[in-house]
Amino acid sequence: MVLLGQDFWKSSGWHLLDKNEEGYLNVTEDFIAAYFERPELVPIEESCSNERDLHKKLTLNPTMKVENKDLEKFKDKDSAFNYQMVLNFRDFILQQLTLETALVNISKGEKINFPPLFVSQIVHVIVRSIVDGWVDPIHLRASEILFREQSVTLDNGRIMVADRSTVQFQTQQSSLNTEKNPSNMTQIDILTEDSGNEYWGRSDNFDTAIDIAFGQPGLDGLCRVYEAWIAHFLKFSCQIRPMSKIEDDKWKWHIGLDVSSNSILNDLYNGKEVSEQELKQILALFSLNPDNKNIFKEDMRGYPVYLGLSMNEFGVISCKPQNLLVNLPILN
């Protein structure tokens, strides 16, 4: 049973943004101000007066111009670096029409001067907007794959994915204090249709795992969020269905949803030898067909686009949903 009206992913900052008439996200001062309340930027006891003063000014006026000399006055150079990265990100998104525009421009190769983590945060808040109103916890948990890296465990046909950062944190806890304080351990629980309602109270903890093996609800959730992602950005509807394998002598187009899938699918398409280990990295295959075939370029009409999702050699999924924004064979 799924409860209606539950909130989730408050950490995305979606609640602080405005939507334009097209449903795209306009940057607000409140959204930017929230970045200056993150632990990396909030002054601590050892922070110098210059850092404290700048932080106070930015919380009051988050779009104020900051000069290099303001950061050079910081005693803690690591703090100055953190501020510079957030300010670079702030300046970039303020120059864009919407957060969607920002992501599309990054996907098309526009240079950025901030870490990729901020790109994932853009994806996070856009996905939160897209899935607003969804009530299936399994589908929402599957949607996390688009913006958070996942650690993969293969077990008797199951493909269990858990948030990589949470897994790493759990491993650190285990080595430090599980024997003395087992209650302090972060628990990763498997989310099922029966336990789905547990998700609502812990969605921002990113501490649940799901099975995305063929035929599982988690994989269906991935299909639905990819469809919604395309509809949101590209304004056309499509059907995305899981596949166990690609058997098509008229295979014409494919898109990898991550770096590993791009490489593996390219080699398969070009008839190159692919190792057994590489094939095992492929976790999911999909076919994509637009509801209106005329959306595609003429030579692709009536043909599916194949999609692949893989883990890398270290067992980690690093999904790049923005690949769907620039690589589909659509007109215009």
The whole-model pTM stands at: 0.94
Residues 209 and 317 sit within 8 Å (Cβ to Cβ): no
Between 2-11, 30-39, 125-134, 209-218, the lowest mean confidence (pLDDT) is in 2-11
Phi, psi of 76 (to 5 degrees): -95, 110
The helix or strand, by DSSP H or E, that contains position 211, with its residue range, turns out to be strand 208-211
Give the residues across from 208 on adjacent strands: 189
Please tell me the distance from the alpha carbon of residue 72 to that of residue 154, in angstroms, as a whole number. 49
Please tell me the distance from the alpha carbon of residue 49 to that of residue 79, in angstroms, as a whole number. 13
- Structure-derived torsion over alpha carbons of residues 277, 280, 281, 285, reported in degrees to the nearest 10: 140
Please tell me what DSSP assigns to residue 36.
T
Q: Hunting for tokens 């690609």 — which residue is that? A: 246
DSSP three-state, residue 116: helix
Q: What residues does each domain of the chain span?
A: 10-130, 217-326
pLDDT tens, 109-130? 999 999 999 999 999 999 999 9
- Structure-derived torsion over alpha carbons of residues 49, 50, 56, 57, reported in degrees to the nearest 10: 150
Please tell me the distance from the alpha carbon of residue 296 to that of residue 302, in angstroms, as a whole number. 9
| Amino acid making up residue 164 | R
- The pLDDT value recorded for residue 180 is 56
DSSP three-state, residue 265: helix
What are the start-end ranges of the H helices in the chain? Answer: 29-35, 49-60, 68-72, 77-94, 99-107, 116-130, 137-143, 164-177, 217-234, 259-269, 276-281, 323-326
Please tell me the distance from the alpha carbon of residue 4 to that of residue 87, in angstroms, as a whole number. 38
Range 297-308 average pLDDT? 97
pLDDT at 182 over 90: no
Q: Hunting for tokens 């270290």 — which residue is that? A: 314
- The pLDDT value recorded for residue 177 is 64
Q: How confident is the model at residue 178 (pLDDT cuts 50, 70, 90)?
A: low
Range 59-78 average pLDDT? 96
- Structure-derived torsion over alpha carbons of residues 294, 295, 297, 301, reported in degrees to the nearest 10: -50
Q: Which two tokens stand for residue 218?
A: 């988690």
pLDDT at 1 over 50: no
